[in-house]
A and B are shown apart, each in its own frame.
Chain A
Amino acid sequence: MAELISMHGYGIYVWSCYGITTVLVGYNILKPFFVHRKAMRILKDN
């Protein structure tokens, strides 16, 4: 497990790249998804 995280010294670089990508792409999927849900709720209520 420790070897998997450290990746022979490259872990800090590799995991930070995957972390940044996950956060940015995830935000861009989730934000419009929740905006859509909110808009649908407003449309239904009116």
Chain B
Amino acid sequence: MKFKSKILNSTLGTIFRATAKYLKHDNFYVLSNKIIKILSIIVFPLIIYGLIAGLFLAPSDEVQGDGFRIIYVHVPAAFLSLFVYTNLAIFSGIYLVWRIKLFDMLAKASAEIGAVFTFIALVTGSIWGKPMWGTWWIWDARLTSELILLFLYWGYLAIRQSIPNEKSAAKIASFVAVLGIINVPIVHFSVNWWFTLHQGSTISNFTNIKIASSMAYPLVAMILSFVLLYVIIILLKVRNIVLKNKLQKLDLAGAI
């Protein structure tokens, strides 16, 4: 008892209390509205810079010519496919342990947009592969593991759609999401672990960038833009779930 009150009175306790306030759906709704507005102001100039610099200002690649400009959408989408899945597994894990509904809502929203980013990564990679490798698709370790990642996202969403009991669906889907995290390091390290046609990482960390700065800055801007877009989209989706729950209480959910 004494130990518990010691924790609650500490700095950690203050941080916990400040954060816990936003686990209430109404408070989270208000907070998400503010965050969406702030991030929208930041993301707009960042994405404009990334697009203009990537498409028109960065010089052509010596080997790949102008075809390399596909990386400004392919690499951010591929990065997000892994980043979002990691978040999905964390949110699902928190939901499984503490049964906090908000994290289940965040997980569901993450799965929906994560599947879209993975699909974009696969399609743009395939379009890039045609002029560079001479084929749309090859059963390469990176491509195959990324395709499995897409199936994991679709599997998670299919479970949520197919089980009528919402609580059971959330529990089973969360369990599958946590198990599926094993595929994330496989996708990331596949180019190192196996001999693949897919090239190695362009940016493995921000201190070891292997391309010229005029090419790298727009890429970093696009990756940051995609991360901010992901946050904006999940907040847009979660605040809609909060509103839908309110409408359900008023028996008006069928109207949207």
Give the contacts of B104-136 with A (CB-CB under 8 A). Answer: 112-113, 116, 119-120, 123-124, 127-128, 130-131
Task: Please give the number of chain A residues whose Cβ is less than 8 angstroms from any Cβ of chain B in the complex.
Answer: 27
Task: Name the one of B65, B243, B252 contacting A8, with C-beta atoms under 8 angstroms.
Answer: B65
Q: A18 contacts B73, CB within 8 Å? A: yes
Given A28-B116, A28-B233, A35-B240, does the pair A46, B250 have CB atoms closer than 8 Å?
yes
Chain A minimum-CB-distance residue to B71: A17
Number of A-B contacts (CB under 8 A): 89
Q: A17-B124, A24-B120, A29-B233 are in contact. Are A42 and B65 (CB under 8 A)?
A: no
- CA distance in complex: A32, B33 (Å): 13
Contact-size category for B: 35 or more
| Residues from chain A with Cβ under 8 Å of B240 in the complex | 32, 35-36, 39
- A9, A14, A46: the one contacting B70 at CB < 8 Å is A14
**Which chain B residues border A8 with CB–CB below 8 Å?**
60, 65-66
Interface residues, chain B, with chain A CB atoms under 8 Å away: 51, 55-56, 60, 65-67, 69-70, 73-74, 77, 112-113, 116, 119-120, 123-124, 127-128, 130-131, 229, 232-233, 236-237, 239-240, 243-244, 246-247, 250, 252, 255-256
A sample of 6 inter-chain contacts (CB < 8 A) reads A14-B66, A14-B67, A24-B119, A24-B120, A28-B116, A43-B250
